Amino acid sequence: MALSATALVTLIQAKNYLRLDAANSLIVWAESVGEGDGSDKTFSLDNTPIDGSLRLYVNNVLQVETTDYTISDANITFVTAPGSGLQITASYEYTASSDTFEEYADDELEDLIEAATKIAEDASDRAFIQRTITESHEGDGDAVLYLFKRPVDSIASVVRQVSETGSDGDGTTVAWTLAEAPAAGTVKVYIDGVVQTLTTDYTISGSVVTFVTAPAADEKIAFTYDHTIIRVNEYTEQLKKGRIIGAAKWAKNVIYEIVYIAGEAATRAATQTLVPDAVTAVLLIVADLYEHRGDTVDVETITGIGETSYKLPSRAANLLFALKPLGGFV
C-alpha cells in the first residue's frame, strides 16, 4: 500500500522517530525473472545481487553458477536456454540505498500512521491536510449547525433530505408537483411502500413527477429527495468557527448533508510547517501504537512492576488539546 494524501507524516519520518536502523542490504525472496522459450539465454534481474547471494531457479530447480549460468552485474546468461514455458525465479540480496530501512513491515507501519493521523484529528476536532469532507447532521431545532472538522476553507453544498407524502391515488391523476426543487438524480418514488422505477413507472421534469399509469384509488404516494439549500438566502457561514447559521432553525429529525473543504494546507509539507505540534503528536501516537500493536487493553497490572497504561501518551494528549480550534462548540 501507499500512504494516503491526508497522512500527516511520512514513512521515513516515522522510521526515524522510531529509530529503526537503515539497512545495509535488502532481500528479494522470489523475483520472477522470466519464462523460457527454448532459445533465449539472457535474462536480467531487477537489482545487482551481492556476490554469492543469488539463488536461481528454473522450474523450481536450483541452478549452479558457472555450470548452468553466468552472471555479470544484473545480467544472467544460461549455458543452455531454458525450455519453453519454464518459469525462471531468483532470490538474492542487494545493496540498499542510504535512505532504505530494514524490513519492518512497511504496510503495517503505514497503517499505524493512518490510524495515528485519524486519532489526532478526531481528538483535536481538526483536519490537518486539506480535503473534501461530506458529513450528515440531524437538525436539533437550533439555528447553529457545527461542522466536525476545522479549519474550514469553504462550503461546497448544503442539502436537506426531504420525505414528502402526496395525496392518495385516484385512478386518474398522473402528475404530482413536489413541494421543493429536488437535486438532480435524488428523487425516489413509492406507491404503497414499493419503490418505482424511473422511466418505466414515472418521469420527472423539474419538480413535477408524472406517472406512466395513474396510481389506483387509495394507493399511498410518497417521495424522498434531496433539496439543495441556497447560501445567503437560507444560511450564512462562520468558517473560522466551523459553523453554519440557518436563516430558519435546522429542523428536528431532518438530515442535512454538508460537503466542505477543511484543513490547514493543501500539501503535507506545508501543513507540517503550520502545525508542528500536530506532527509531534502523530509521531508520539505512532510510537505508542507500534510499541503496543496487537494489544486491546487500556491498562494492565503486572506483578512486580505495577500498573502499565496503553492509553494515548500524555504528551500527545496535551498537544492535541492545545490544537483544538478557537471558538469551539459553545
Domain extent, residue 70, equals: 25-95
Predicted structure pTM score: 0.63
Q: How many domains does the chain have?
A: 3
**Per-residue pLDDT band at 329 (split at 50, 70, 90):** very low
Amino acid residing at 295: D
| Tally of CA atoms within 13 A in the half-sphere of 285 that contains its CB | 28
CA atoms of 231 and 12, how far apart (whole Å): 44
Among residues 225, 244, 262, the one where a domain terminates is: 262
44 and 83, same domain (yes or no): yes
CA atoms of 165 and 86, how far apart (whole Å): 69
The string of DSSP codes covering 256-268 is: EEEEEEE-SBSSH
Which letter does DSSP use for residue 126 in this model? B
317 and 211, same domain (yes or no): no
41 and 154, same domain (yes or no): no
Among residues 262, 284, 316, the one where a domain terminates is: 262
Sequence-distant (≥ 6) Cβ neighbours of residue 178 within 8 angstroms: 162, 164, 187, 207, 208, 209, 223, 225
Of 325 and 177, the one with more pLDDT: 177
List phi, psi (to 5°) of 82: -60, 140
213 and 311, same domain (yes or no): no
Q: What does DSSP say about strands 255-262 and 152-165: parallel, antiparallel, or unpaired?
A: antiparallel
280 and 209, same domain (yes or no): no
150 and 242, same domain (yes or no): yes
229 and 321, same domain (yes or no): no
List strands edge to edge, sheet with 175-177: 175-177, 208-211, 202-205
**Per-residue pLDDT band at 327 (split at 50, 70, 90):** very low
Which H or E element spans position 28? strand 25-35
Among residues 95, 119, 150, the one where a domain terminates is: 95
| pLDDT at residue 101 tops 90 | no
8 and 36, same domain (yes or no): no
150 and 251, same domain (yes or no): yes
Of 26 and 82, the one with more pLDDT: 82
Q: What is the pLDDT of residues 273-294, one digit of tens each?
A: 999 999 999 999 998 888 776 5
CA atoms of 39 and 308, how far apart (whole Å): 65
Q: What is the widest separation between alpha-carbon atoms in the chain?
A: 92
Q: What is the pLDDT of residues 223-254, one digit of tens each?
A: 999 999 887 677 888 888 888 888 888 888 88
19 and 33, same domain (yes or no): no
